[in-house]
Amino acid sequence: MPNRLTSRTLAIALALAIVPAAGCTKPSGGASSSATQPAGGGTEGDNAMASPTDPDRVAKLGTAFPAIDSIMRAFAARTNVPGIAYGVIVDGKLAHVGTSGFRELSSKSPVDTGTVFRIASMTKSFTAVAILQLRDAGKLSLEDPAERYVPELAGLHYPTTDSPKITIRHLLSHSTGFPEDNPWGDRQLADTDEQMAEMIRSGIPFSTAPGTNYEYSNYAFAILGRIVTKVSGMPYPKYISEHVLQPLGMSSTTLQSAEVDPARLAHGYRWQDGQWLEEEQLPDGSFGPMGGMLTSIADLSRWVGFMLDAWPPRDGGAGDPLSRASRREMQQVIRYQGASAVRDAKTGAITLSAGGYGYGLGVRESCLFHIVVSHTGGLPGFGSIMLWLPDYGVGIVGLGNVTYTSWRAPVDQALDALARTGALEPRAPTPAPILTERRDQVTRLVSSWDDALADSIAAMNLYLDETKDRRRAAIEKVRDAAGGSCQAEGPFVAANALRGRWRMRCAKGDLVVSITLAPTIPAGVQHLDVRPIAREESIAPAPTCRSTT
């Protein structure tokens, strides 16, 4: 394994080159580059992502790239991965890409940004996109029983008499009740459609009743592939190519390793007894929709950019080849998986992981990030990851060619490196104009109470929950205790379009004012709270994991 990673600045054409530079026959350990290649595809143009609040955000995040290169180099050496490729996506663009090691050991052929790796279960998100396209076209419903399209499922013996029929939504969200099948599913990729049909006819056991629990099922996504074929009238690989990959410009992505130029194909290996053993390239078959895809780091970055482009909700075109609304739907918890909170015995730090599965994607919350969307992929000879933070517009992708390459630790370390720059900040919600107007009116009300103004902005519940006289007295009491002469100061912290808080600085102290608007037109103030706050205390949202006194 090479142990040195070199960095250089490359033009974007070279950053996304699909062959090594002339004369490059053996890598010195890899390469990395910073670039601004659009990663999202589609037709959204310059409006694909919300503008960052810090104009120097990308440059500041870029100061972490050398550290990320070191993290990835150490990871490859520590875990005996012959070759890796990785990328950092920022605001819909591939901002940094790196490679290290070999795509083929026997020839010492280096990995580059065009090297094509198998991505295994990350294929599931492509299958989910296909299903939602067909749903959005009115050709199926997620509530349809799966047996309507795969008749062999009609013969299933359900675990209880009150079990519901398996629906397409169950299949998409790992809610079928089929047993977890990762080791078994990996070896079914080459099965023909008839072999899979015969397996279904012979029966599928249930570990739980459908719709009651999360249980990861490759079988379910293979069945979804059959549904895509049935409803679209074309083979699954052809549908994915024409309706998903081509519109996004993902020209290096395929379901057949035989279609990949041998000079670009990553060979898969297993580390055993102190040496690498090459794994055979598994052919595509009926189980391909659950894990048969191959892609490059450039194409995978484009896919992550396409998913990030769904955020935030906004005006303009719906998006192509799948609407932004449907892409956001994929990235919501549909089937809860569970939670864990662990305290480090040495540092006392808490690690939280809570969430579940959407449609072809995992969705989690941690102490650091409200939403983390990701999926990993593992097959004999390969391991991969794609992970992004919708609220931050940032994603990380990684591809490796050793069995079940485990990317979680280096990706977490890379996120830490980005966070240390101070530029990894969430996108702030945009307050509705009526919320800004109500903030200004409430600011005047706190400074100097006026009954007419109070009546004009109050929702019908406000004085029923607490009388106007009591509200006025309470607000005047905290205002006078703070010395009066209060004025709004600092940012308006909007929780969403209709709820927010802000600081008012008074002569002797500060107040924090919070309002929530009612679901009426015009939107009145249904909740109003004014209380003292220490000048050094932040009004930013409290972290998910925090200590209380």
For the chain, list the domains and their CATH numbers. 433-533 (3.10.450)
pLDDT at 52: 56
Q: Which of 228-232, 250-254, 273-277, 472-476 has the lowest mean pLDDT?
A: 273-277
DSSP state of 4: -
Distances in Å between the Cα of 207 and the Cα atoms of 106, 152, 335, 420, 483 are 44, 19, 16, 44, 66
C-alpha distances in angstroms, 256 versus 85, 152, 484?
A: 20, 27, 72
Task: Name the least confident of 12-21, 65-74, 533-542.
Answer: 12-21
Secondary structure, 3-state, 467-519: CHHHHHHHHHHHHHHCCCCCEEEEEEEEEECCEEEEEEECCCCEEEEEEEECC
CA angle 541, 545, 549 (to 5 degrees): 90
**Distance between CA 358 and CA 347 in Å, rounded?**
33
Residue 271 DSSP code: E
Please give the Cα distance from 479 to 445 (Å, whole number).
Answer: 11
CA-to-CA dists, residue 34 to 90, 390, 410, 459, angstroms: 11, 22, 19, 52
Residue 45: per-residue pLDDT: 34
533 and 512 Cβ atoms separated by less than 8 Å? yes
Identity of the residue numbered 102: F
Separation CA 360–CA 290 (nearest Å): 9
pTM for this predicted structure: 0.90
In this prediction, residue 40 carries a pLDDT of 52
- Work out the pLDDT band at 38, boundaries 50, 70, 90: low
User: Comparing C-alpha atoms, which of 144, 123, 154 is closest to residue 221?
Assistant: 123
Alpha-carbon distance of 40 to 247, in angstroms, equals: 11
Q: Taking all residues of the chain, what is their mean pLDDT, rounded to a whole number?
A: 90
Poorest-confidence range of 90-99, 236-245, 348-357?
348-357
Question: Which amino acid, residue 279?
Answer: E
Q: What is the pLDDT of residue 30?
A: 64
In the three-class reduction of DSSP (H, G, I as helix; E, B as strand; rest coil), residue 464 is classed as helix
| pLDDT exceeds 50 at position 18 | no
User: Is residue 476 over pLDDT 80?
Assistant: yes
| Residue of 303, 357, 352 lying closest to 330 (CA atoms) | 357
Angle of helix 124-136 relative to helix 218-232, nearest 10 degrees, comes to: 40
Tens-digit pLDDT profile for residues 502-535? 999 999 999 999 999 999 999 999 999 999 999 9
Q: Tens digit of pLDDT for each residue in 410-452?
A: 999 999 999 999 999 999 999 999 999 999 999 999 999 999 9
Least confident of 144-153, 193-202, 263-272, 276-285: 276-285
Q: Note the pLDDT of residue 72.
A: 98
Angstrom distance (rounded) from CA 61 to CA 82: 28
pLDDT over 90 at 253, yes or no: yes
Confidence (pLDDT) at 39: 57
Query: pLDDT higher for 542 or 57?
Result: 57
The enclosing H or E element of 94 equals strand 93-104
